[in-house]
């Protein structure tokens, strides 16, 4: 018995009103030591001008006013190329930040999903099941 070599960890939030600010406070899976990719999925694509500020493990990855349009699912690319690259330490890292809706969605509520690709890049005993 093992665990998958790559894990896609999702955090989904519900945006109920225009200009709503959502506090992100989450933790990555402890079994994986590196976050190698990110994708943001919106159930209403017109909300893509909303902004994201995200710290991972105390390190600011996306600053304030960073529009989620730059992190959306990459369309028109072959399957497997759609995640944006990251190389940040994971293994239970704290994810802290805010998602600010910049009203533009056709209807409310809509959902925003942050999808992280987690891997073990180097040999490690983290999460090893003997």
Q: Where on the chain is the footprint of other proteins (CB under 8 A)? A: 18-19, 37-38, 45-46, 49, 60-67, 69-72, 74-78, 81-88, 102-104, 106
Contact of 24 with 114, CB cutoff 8 Å: yes
**Looking at the DSSP assignment, which residues form a beta bridge with residue 89?**
34
**Looking at the DSSP assignment, which residues form a beta bridge with residue 129?**
none
Nearer to other proteins, 26 or 86 (CB): 86
Contact of 72 with 42, CB cutoff 8 Å: yes
- Non-local (6+) Cβ contacts of 99 within 8 A are 13, 15, 21, 22, 24, 50, 51, 52, 68, 112
Query: Taking the complex as a whole, how short is the minimal distance between the CB of residue 94 and other proteins, in angstroms?
Result: 17
Nearer to other proteins, 77 or 128 (CB): 77
Going across the sheet that includes 51-56, the strands are: 21-27, 94-100, 51-56, 59-67
Nearer to other proteins, 7 or 48 (CB): 48
Query: Taking the complex as a whole, how short is the minimal distance between the CB of residue 19 and other proteins, in angstroms?
Result: 7
Query: Taking the complex as a whole, how short is the minimal distance between the CB of residue 116 and other proteins, in angstroms?
Result: 12
Query: Taking the complex as a whole, how short is the minimal distance between the CB of residue 85 and other proteins, in angstroms?
Result: 4
Nearer to other proteins, 24 or 103 (CB): 103
């Amino acid at each position: 018995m093992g665990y998958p070599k790559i894990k896609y960890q999702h955090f989904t939030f519900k945006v109920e009103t225009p200009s709503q600010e959502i506090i992100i406070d989450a933790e990555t899976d402890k079994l994986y030591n590196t976050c190698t990719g990110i994708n943001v999925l919106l159930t209403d694509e017109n909300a893509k001008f909303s902004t994201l500020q995200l710290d991972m493990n105390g390190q600011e990855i996306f600053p304030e006013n960073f529009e989620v349009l730059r992190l959306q699912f990459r369309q028109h690319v072959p399957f497997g190329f759609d995640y944006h690259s990251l190389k940040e330490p994971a293994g239970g890292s704290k994810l802290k930040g805010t998602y600010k809706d910049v009203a533009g969605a056709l209807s409310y509520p809509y959902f925003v999903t942050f999808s992280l690709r987690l891997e073990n890049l180097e040999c490690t005993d983290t999460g090893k099941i003997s």
